[in-house]
Amino acid sequence: MSADRENHLMTDMTQTDLALLLADAADGVEIGTAPVQAVIRGGRRRRARRWAMATTTALVLAGSAGATLAVAGVPGGHGDAGRPVATRPSAPEARYVYEPQVTELARGTDHGTRWRVVVAVWGAPRDGTEAAVQRSAMRKFGIESHGLPDSPHLVGKTSYYSGLYYGDHPFRAMIFNTVEKWEALTGKDMMSGAVPLAAADTDGPERLVVGTVALTARQVECGWKDGTSTVVEPQAVAGSPVEWFACTAPAGTAYQGAEVIR
């Protein structure tokens, strides 16, 4: 959905519509102790969405009902008696609770400075002890403490984040979410957002775009304000039931919109 269309939709909304959207967005959110940017989302009534992206601190997004994470299933029915039953790994290390599965999403050079974008997926802690250790590990990975849920809010939930490494600058978390169930994406559904590419350049043009799409998506087109566009192929991310993509705008322009084109 283009930015112009989103603005038109927001203009036509009544106060009642906005109240419904905000209530839907707030359902199930865990935001910890720090204030975050407001996120207005259309829930089930509008499938194309943009993330509000954090620039200097991690942003916790609302989790909504969707596809469940794949886990080892337990066979059912009378005919399964005596068959070996698949069980979930018992050790926290095997479940990626203390160290996430990390996938590099993109890399490049900007004005001579190397950068790369990663996505990390943390397994769900089973109790408060595991959650406390995980929260400490997340901080060591570079997620600021005021952008993290409290330990009790991590129990039983999967956490994921996308972050930027830019030259020798400290890791910069862009997206952070903790959910019981991942967002269900089908067809041309998309969640995306944009931030300045250079580290700490919070007032610069939004040149880095990161998002998720359905597993069936084959190509995403990122449009720039100068009228040009870039087409990328989404990729699988370890531990994620959706695919991810990243685009970067050429110097001198900025993000306009993104959509699944194939």
- Percent pLDDT > 90 in the chain is 47
Q: What is the mean pLDDT of residues 3-9?
A: 44
Tokens 């939709």, located at residue: 9
- Residue 135 confidence (pLDDT) above 70: yes
Residue 79 falls inside a structural domain = no
Which pLDDT belongs to residue 201? Answer: 58
Supply the pLDDT for residue 193: 85
The reported pLDDT for the residue numbered 199 is 64
Domain that residue 155 falls in:
3-66+87-260
pLDDT band at 86 (very low <50, low <70, confident <90, very high): low
81 part of a folded domain: no
Is pLDDT larger for residue 67 or for residue 149? 149
Q: Is residue 75 part of a domain?
A: no
Residue 77 lies in a domain: no
Looking at the predicted structure, is the pLDDT value of residue 71 above 60?
A: no
Number of domains within the chain: 1
Do the domain assignments include residue 108?
A: yes
Top pLDDT among 59 and 261 is at 261
Question: Residue 221 domain-assigned?
Answer: yes
pLDDT at 87: 57
Strongest mean pLDDT among 81-90, 160-169, 214-223: 214-223
Does 192 fall in a domain? yes
Predicted pLDDT of residue 76: 32
Average pLDDT, the chain: 73
Q: Mean of the pLDDT values across residues 179-202?
A: 85
Q: Please check the confidence at residue 248 and state whether its pLDDT lies above 90.
A: yes
pLDDT confidence bin for 74, thresholds 50/70/90:
very low
Q: Quick one: pLDDT at residue 12? A: 46
* CA neighbor of 117 nearest in space, from 196, 172, 178: 172
Q: How large is the greatest C-alpha to C-alpha distance in the chain, in angstroms?
A: 65
Q: Where are the alpha helices (DSSP H) in the chain?
A: 3-12, 15-26, 128-141
* 36-45, 163-172, 253-262, range with the lowest pLDDT: 36-45
Q: Is residue 78 part of a domain?
A: no
What pLDDT, on a 0 to 100 scale, did the predictor assign at position 11? 43
**Phi, psi (5° rounding) for residue 176?**
-140, 130
Strand runs labelled E in the chain: 48-50, 101-110, 113-122, 158-166, 172-179, 190-196, 206-213, 220-224, 229-232, 243-248, 255-260
Residue 40 banded pLDDT, cuts 50, 70, 90: very low
